[in-house]
Structure 1
Amino acid sequence: MTSKNAPLLSCTKLTFSYPKNVVLDNISLEFGIQSQHLNAQENNKTSGEFVGLIGANGAGKSTLLKLLTGISKPNQGEVTLSGASLKTFKRKLIAQYISFVPQDTSIDYAFSVREVVAMGRHPHLKSFEPEGEYDQSRIMHAMEKTDLLKMADRSVTELSGGERQRVFIARALAQETPILILDEPTASLDLCHQLEVLALLKTLAREGHVIITAIHDLNMAARFCDRLIILANQQVVADGKPEEILTESHLRQHFSVEARVDKSDEDGFIRITALQPVSHICSA
């Protein structure tokens, strides 16, 4: 039974480890305030937010994202979707509420761009049910938003890494889920498309979507994210607004870098200038 007043997505005391390596320990987080009841017809809106997950390499960001989607299973703890354990949902139902863009966008079969984007509609269709007018409109809209219309008939195996990344983002948009989880979605993109994708995610958050993304570019995170979470030492060590999180002391302690943090008088955005590593060996 889902609860109308529960966070849209949450995790409680999540722990994930390999036989000789603890990756995450006792992680508890909430995303999305006053979520809509998943089984109700009310028009209650989720309070959207754009959350950036940051931390040094190996901090467990990708692992946490996979746990939140149900792709990976925790050793301990629980993930809940609108108050109900994610374990009670079938994969198809999860895919109606959570879309996921992985870091690895390699694909073996020569699907066209449109075919891959259209896969985002599968959770909403019965087996062998053809796409309807609405599905087709969502596919076209997703390709338009990600600047893919001109390459709709090209094989994804012919595309660059950045172009494939946009295809997978478009597939997530076509999926039309209240939650989008993305693992380094701008890592392979040129600067123009980085700005376009992050601006699009920001707009979706304003429209009520919960966006959770791992992101390495701290200046981009400061500009676009509403909330930042630092992972370090297998735990959440800071959670709050960008101006609260991106401090010189946090950068020194959790990113092993001496940096200057300024706030622009012109646009109000935080700007980080890395000066030097704290030591000659960056943290893993």
Structure 2
Amino acid sequence: MAPLRVEHLRLQAGGQCLLADLSLTFPAGSCWAILGRNGAGKTSLLRALSGLHVATHGQVWLAERPIAQWPARERAQRLGLLPQHPDMARDVRVLEYLALGDFLRSPMPAARAELLLQQFELTKLIERQLHQLSGGERQRLALATLAAQAPAVMLLDEPLNHLDLPHQLRTLHWLQQRAGLGDLVLLTLHDVNWARRYCSHALLLDGAGGWAAGTVSEMLTPEHLSQLLGHPLHVAQGDEGWLIPAAT
């Protein structure tokens, strides 16, 4: 049973078709990069997959059940969404916010809280209020809260926002690990090289209704990405095979 699939999904914004007739199964244990230019519909797609946005046409199935039929609490046990701009109350402390993710076992066990605080390097910030955190610290807290929720399907909209390079790498490695343990991970990215290194699959959105999906080796080629992003890319010399923009 696939944890998530869509049938004939259509998304529109302001009368413009962003995505047309998307039919796709997302298998357990896969990590998907959703790529496209600004305004291509990446955020709208994640919101539709999470049940927060009703598609113009089509159906989203969570564990072979229409997502709209899931009660909110049961849906949250299976699916978690990290929005691009998490809603964080200014006067809440770090530990209080983290506990929101573990709502099924409230209050959160102290040992579990300590483990998550260590994993996302938040231990020294435990007594701070959210308005006292930097952008990167707030993002790590949002990621830790999603980890506390522990859903089998994780949807992440720009999870690398505000993170410095070491924390970007740790976040990508963590998501890759979650997929390796059987979870389904879908994340929006702008760095195609991170997608090639850490994801197993890619979904490309052109913002005009068109889409393409497959493994990263099939999708993230210079030809596909140059057309998608509107700028020529080529493979740099060396073992890693990094994609870099061509000089203009």
Same fold (TM over 0.5): yes
- Choose 16-25 or 222-231, whichever is displaced more: 16-25
Identity of aligned residues (%): 30
> Does 1:253 pair with 2:224?
no
Match of 1:155 in 2: 129
Partner in structure 2 of residue 282 of structure 1:
none
The higher-RCO structure (CA 8 Å, 6+ apart) is 2
How does 1:38-49 map onto structure 2 within 5 Å?
47-49=28-30
8 Å contact kept, 2:99–2:108: no
**Residues 263 and 236 (structure 1), Cα distance of their counterparts in 2 relative to 1, 3 Å cut:** farther
Contact 1:17 1:24 (C-alpha < 8 Å) held by counterparts? yes
Structure 1's consecutive aligned runs of 4 or more residues displaced over 4 angstroms after TM superposition are none
| Secondary structure of the corresponding residue to residue 228 of structure 1 | strand
Structure 1 length-normalised TM: 0.82
Shift of 1:248: 1.8
Root mean square deviation, CA, Å: 1.7
What's the secondary structure of 2:77's corresponding residue? coil
Is residue 58 of structure 1 aligned with residue 58 of structure 2?
no
CA distance in 2, matches of 1:182, 1:96: 16
Q: Is the 8 Å Cα contact of residues 259 and 276 (structure 1) preserved in structure 2?
A: no
Counterpart for residue 20 of structure 1: 15
Residue 232 (structure 1) shift: 0.8
Which structure's CA Rg is the greater one? 1
Q: Which range is displaced more, 77-86 or 16-25? A: 16-25
What is the TM-score with the length of structure 2 in the denominator? 0.93
Q: Which stretch shows the higher mean deviation, 72-81 or 13-22?
A: 13-22
Could you list the per-position Cα deviations for residues 110-134 of structure 1 after superposition, in whole angstroms to 9, with x for gaps in the alignment?
A: 1111111110012x25xxxx4163x
Segment drifting more, 163-172 vs 10-19: 10-19
1:190-247: CA deviations, max 9, x gaps? 0010001111111111111111100111111111111111111444532122222122
The match for 1:131 is 107
Cα–Cα, structure 1 residues 263 and 152, in superposed 2: closer, same or farther, change >3 Å?
Answer: farther
Q: Is the 8 A contact 1:222 1:270 kept in 2?
A: no
Q: Which runs of 5+ in 2 are unaligned?
A: none
Who is 1:68 aligned against? 49
How many residue pairs end up in the alignment?
248
**2:91 aligned residue:** 110
Kept after mapping to 2: 8 A contact 1:51/1:211: yes
8 Å Cα contact 2:235-2:241 kept in structure 1: yes
